[in-house]
Structure 1
Amino acid sequence: MLTAFTATMRDRAAAVSGRLRHLPAAPRSPLTLLEYLLLALLAVQVARLLWAVVTPVGPYGAWTGRQAVIADAGARQALFSRFDPFFRAPDSGASSSPVVTSLALTVFGIRVNEGSGQGSAIIATPDGVQNSYAVGDEIMPGVILKSVAFDHVLIDRGGAQESVFLDQSVAAPVASPDGSAPSASPVPSAVSSAQAAQGITAAAVKSDIGFAPRLENGKVTGLVLSPKGPAFQTAGFARGDIVTQINGRPIGSAADLQALQTQIAPGARISLMVERGATTVPIALTLQGS
């Protein structure tokens, strides 16, 4: 009986196999072909990446980074012989300092703004009329104020630079021994004031010179100076002087008074711009040890 059952199952399997053999083959989907192509491309890229990683650079040529180009000793010597990188000398074609002008101009006051590099000056023209000129203004036909410095101004006269120094013909007034007020005299020059202030001590400045803020429209615009001792006049100040700048910085708040008090110390050098009537006078204080 077992043999008959096995033969029957064999016959049925052969019949099913024959039927499947006669079925038409299923068509391949285009999507399947695209997936095969993408897989093949991915495999190629992975192989190239592995090849680039394991292959040394040598077969593609000797690769080196950028190298500094160093000139030879002769070229370097010729280069540094043309200029000094540490001590720049002025151009040999230009004069070391402008010549003093031959025009009848007189400088009575200079105001320097070190923050902006600009400034102004009170200059008297040959007719004796004094006016305040800012940098770039025309003083007279063909003469322009080019720049201002501590004790002189530069003018442009037809393309040539010439200098005009402060009027130094009058010395600073000297205090009388009996304490009386000095006789009326013209405004002392800034150079004389600077020279007279070299022997003042910091303690004398603090004790002999009074400072009070000047208010204009509720804003501090300067420091009013008042005499309290002989150092006031020795420094070159006059009664009614108003300090408007300290070391080139305009006074704009009460904190500037505190800053000035802090700077008054032995050995300090303080540059002040003083408003004296209708003129502006620079005064330099060089304080000695107490």
Structure 2
Amino acid sequence: MARVGEWGRQTRTAVAARPGRVRAGVEIALVALLAVQGGRLAWIFVAPQPETTAAARVEVAPVDASIFQRFDAFFRTGDKSSLAEAAGADSDALRLFGVRAGGPDGGSAIIGLPDGRQVSVGVGETISDGLTLASVGEDYVTVSRGGSVSRLVFTETPAGAATPPPPPAAAQVMSPTSGAPAPVSAAASAAAPTGPVVDPQRLMAQASLRPRMDGLRIRGFTLAARGDGAALRAAGLQSGDVILAVNGAELNSLERLSELGGDLSGSSAAEIRFERNGRVQTTTIRTGQ
């Protein structure tokens, strides 16, 4: 204990004899500590940011509005469908009317059946007995039956489709209207149909419709004539007309457009409301049903 006490007295004596050196050492230590902390703070701001993980960089794919340009709701003429060999004779008349490519479900398509009906099916769903929608592209679909896969595109047409008869040279019935007409009931149309007789299949074969967009909404379909356009002229229509409604039912969706062919074929008369050069007009046709 005596030695410890002696060592403490010697230390205090040494510090008291050199107070400047002790103070300088403490200051140097404090400056070094502040420098270290300042460097760490600066590194927080200048250090490169870590790369964003793949999960954080997921972006939403933009809406493909060009699908409206590729949608064809009416029949076309051409060669035999490529489905004839793979899908059998019953599927020769299959037609592709519209596609919705991409999406978490793989997409969907509107396909016309041999009996004239149109169905909307998704990837993996059955089109008809044994025939399944395999995939959907931007302007085509592939279908499979058993182990065989075939491709169907917009330009294909039903095999052996009969050529529609020429339209009669009857005068058209057309009158302007200032507002939307009241829906025409099926009973009223059947009771007193007026207007020229136009074959629905020929009318659809000569018409190509492109949706007219108003923001994100469809406000009618712009008509473009295909072929000689005789059936369109007989119905009082021409290229550039915007078809707004048929028998009072607004054309404001692709689903409604896909039903149009069946509606025309199933009624004896149809009132078509359209816009031409900013003016709303109507024309009435008889389908001969």
- The TM-score, its normalising length taken from structure 1, stands at 0.34
Q: Relative CO higher for 1 or 2, CA cutoff 8 Å, sep ≥ 6?
A: 2
- The TM-score, its normalising length taken from structure 2, stands at 0.34
Structure showing greater radius of gyration is 1
